[in-house]
């Protein structure tokens, strides 16, 4: 039986939090894979939200309802995505940089790393450079993931790379950056080890870096 992913996406766009939660539960109960539910339903919906927000067809309160719907669905999918992991591949410290409150993409990246067997320390949003330094040291992380969704907060990635260098721990951690305005050229320009366009490629690149 094929699940109606379009209906899930539409309800996410409409911000129908309870419906999105119910549909996600139904999709899981019907045997749909967590990855398909995520990609064909939820991410497809968020893509529409992004385009409409950009075109001024949706506004912040509506976008927030869609984001809350996404979070409600993620509560269900998270343990399932994590359960598909097989072994401990390393330790990731991740967060959204200072001044930036976007966390949907960062949360997805966290989940994918957990699903791939990494131990993940998610610091949350609006994280100062020094807090990243402290967490990498405390948890002996071998990967640091920085997320930024605003052009105005991208410079905090550079500051964070600098803080890691100043703390003398640059050679013990691979630094990866991502987020809608971030590019591989930008990653290179700030001295990061890699840029990832999405959660799946982030995991693949981290594994490459740790080989």
Residues forming the site for ligand B1M (CB under 6 A): 43, 46, 49-50, 53-54, 60, 63-64, 67, 99-106, 108-109, 145-147, 149-151, 176-181, 196, 198-199, 202
CA distance 2 to 4: 7
Q: Between residues 180 and 210, which has the closer beta carbon with respect to ligand B1M?
A: 180
Kindly state the smallest distance separating residue 2's Cβ from ligand B1M, in Å: 24
Q: Between residues 32 and 141, which has the closer beta carbon with respect to ligand B1M?
A: 141
Kindly state the smallest distance separating residue 31's Cβ from ligand B1M, in Å: 24
* Residue with nearest beta carbon to ligand B1M: 105
Kindly state the smallest distance separating residue 1's Cβ from ligand B1M, in Å: 27
Q: Between residues 3 and 174, which has the closer beta carbon with respect to ligand B1M?
A: 174
Kindly state the smallest distance separating residue 167's Cβ from ligand B1M, in Å: 19
Task: Kindly state the greatest CA–CA separation across the chain.
Answer: 56
SS3 content of the chain, % helix, strand, coil (to 5): 60, 10, 30
Cα distance from N-terminal residue to C-terminal residue, the chain: 40
Q: Between residues 34 and 179, which has the closer beta carbon with respect to ligand B1M?
A: 179
Provide the strand spans (E) within the chain. Answer: 91-96, 119-122, 143-147, 174-178, 194-195
In order of 43, 129, 137, 173, 176, the CA distances from 198 in angstroms are 11, 23, 26, 20, 12
Kindly state the smallest distance separating residue 67's Cβ from ligand B1M, in Å: 4
Do the strands 119-122 and 174-178 form a parallel or antiparallel pair, or are they unpaired?
unpaired
């Amino acid at each position: 039986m094929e699940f109606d992913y379009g209906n899930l996406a539409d309800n996410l766009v409409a911000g129908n939090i309870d419906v999105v939660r119910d549909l996600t539960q139904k999709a899981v109960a019907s045997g749909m894979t967590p990855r398909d539910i995520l990609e064909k339903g939820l991410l497809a919906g968020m893509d529409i939200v992004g385009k409409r927000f950009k075109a001024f067809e949706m506004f912040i309160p509506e976008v927030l309802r869609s984001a809350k719907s996404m979070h409600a669905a993620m509560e269900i999918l998270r343990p399932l995505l994590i359960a598909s992991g097989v072994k401990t591949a390393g330790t990731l410290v991740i967060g959204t940089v200072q001044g930036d409150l976007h966390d949907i993409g960062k949360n997805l990246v966290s989940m994918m790393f957990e699903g791939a067997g990494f131990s993940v320390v998610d610091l949350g949003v609006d994280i100062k450079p020094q807090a990243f330094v402290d967490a990498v040291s405390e948890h002996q992380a071998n990967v640091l993931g920085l997320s930024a969704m605003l052009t105005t907060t991208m410079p905090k990635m550079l500051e964070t790379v600098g803080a890691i260098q100043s703390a003398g721990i640059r050679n013990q951690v691979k630094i990866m950056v991502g987020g809608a305005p971030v590019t591989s050229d930008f990653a290179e320009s700030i001295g990061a080890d890699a840029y990832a366009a999405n959660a799946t490629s982030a995991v693949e690149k981290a594994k490459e870096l740790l080989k």
